[in-house]
Amino acid sequence: MLAMLYATYIIKGQKQYSDVPDLLKPQVKQILENEGLGHLAA
């Protein structure tokens, strides 16, 4: 749930992948990749 929230913020340009807590980074990266936006997880 929290990973989806971070992914949404990243997609909207309100947060950067570097802002995501380390514990959630794999989940957020997977969500972004599933949406075809894996380049945002760099």
Q: What is the pLDDT of residues 14-41, one digit of tens each?
A: 999 999 999 999 999 999 999 999 999 9
Per-residue pLDDT at 14: 98
pTM of the model: 0.93
Contact 27, 3 (CB under 8 A): yes
Mean pLDDT along residues 1-21: 98
Domain residue ranges of the chain, discontinuous segments joined by + = 2-40
Retrieve residue 17's tokens: 């992948």
Per-residue pLDDT at 17: 98
Write the DSSP assignment of 1-42 as a string of letters. Answer: -HHHHHHHHHHHTSS-GGGS-TTTHHHHHHHHHHTT-GGG--
Per-residue pLDDT at 30: 98
